[in-house]
Structure formats: structure tokens, C-alpha cells
Amino acid sequence: MAADPHMLFEQWFAEARAGEPHDAGAMALATATPNGIPSVRMVLLKGHDERGFVFYTNSHSRKGEELAANGRAALLFHWKSLRRQVRIEGPVSPVGPVEADAYFATRSRDSQLGAWASDQSRPLISREAFESRYAQLASSYEGKAVPRPPHWLGYRVAPEQIEFWTDRPHRLHERRLFTRAGPGWIEGLLYP
């Protein structure tokens, strides 16, 4: 039994990066409206440490608006080829602007321009309208650095619970649950 779920996650994530054929950092992000209407989509893990798990998105998107109204989320990593899952639940807060700027600078230029061009989650008249907006932005930033849009933020899920699920024959799965207890963690098992 590991005493630190972050160390266990790092071990599992390293194995997933080595053995999972598709996007080991892909995770399902579940959010909800203030009325409890859930929504889930795939996002990419862009950082993790003892403070939490970080992803980036447009704060004006549906997920951004839901996080602003209900600052809690759940994450799910499913590494099918390894027959493992990790579930994470906790409060969400924006990362600082220095951290967001630093990550934005590592993105491809096309992705940077896309962050400006997309009114994420809003109705789109046609694909051509989006491509035209993108082309206009590419032209206006030609030869210049593309700054991070003010609405493009990083979010950190600070885990209160982390569950490690391992597939076992006959659906007799192993489920290890870590629950935050002050500065440390309490570990227990769950029935499959």
C-alpha cells in the first residue's frame, strides 16, 4: 500500500505513457451547473503535482462557465490497455497568470491562434466562418508573438479523493480509495 496517492499516480502515469497507445494524458472532465445538471468531455492533463491536476480551456466555454458557477469537478483517466482507471474529485481553482502564460507559450502557433479564433461552445454558422476568422488572426499576428487570450485559463483540480481501479478477472476488481485528511491521506478499499 502506498501512503501517497500522488506518487502512485506518477507511477501509473509513467506506465501509461510507456504502454498506452493513445493519449495517456486524456481524461474525462465532469462538471455541473449550479442546479446539478452534469456535463462530461475529454480534456488533456497538462500538469500534476501535490497541489492537483491541471488542464486548460476557454473560460467562456460551457465547462468554464460551469466551473465558475460550481467550482467542483471530477476527472477520470481510463487506460484500457493497462486495465486501469484513476478517478479524482475535488474543488477547482484557476492557475496563476504566470503559469498559464508559460504553458500557452509552449503550444503550437496554430493552437495559440485557435484559442483566439474559437468562441468555444457557442453556435457556429459555418466551418468557413471559423476558418475565415482564423485566417484573419493569422494575418494580424504574422511576425508577432501570439499572447494568451485573457479568457484562456488553466484550472487545477485539488483532489479530496483519488481512487485507483485495477481490472481483475470475473469483475472482482481492486479499488483503492485515498481520502484527504488534513495534510495527509487515509487509504481504504472499496468493494468492486
- Known catalytic residue: 171? yes
Do residues 53 and 142 touch, judged by C-beta distance below 8 A?
A: no
E strand intervals along 33-183:
38-44, 47-49, 52-58, 72-79, 84-94, 152-157, 161-166, 174-181
Identify the active-site residue in 41, 84, 171, 175. 171
Cβ atoms within 10 A of the Cβ of 132, count? 12
CA distance 88 to 75: 5
Q: How far apart are CA 128 and CA 120, in angstroms?
A: 16
Burial (CB count within 10 angstroms: exposed 0-12, middle 13-18, buried 19+), residue 82: middle
Q: Which residues are catalytic?
A: 171
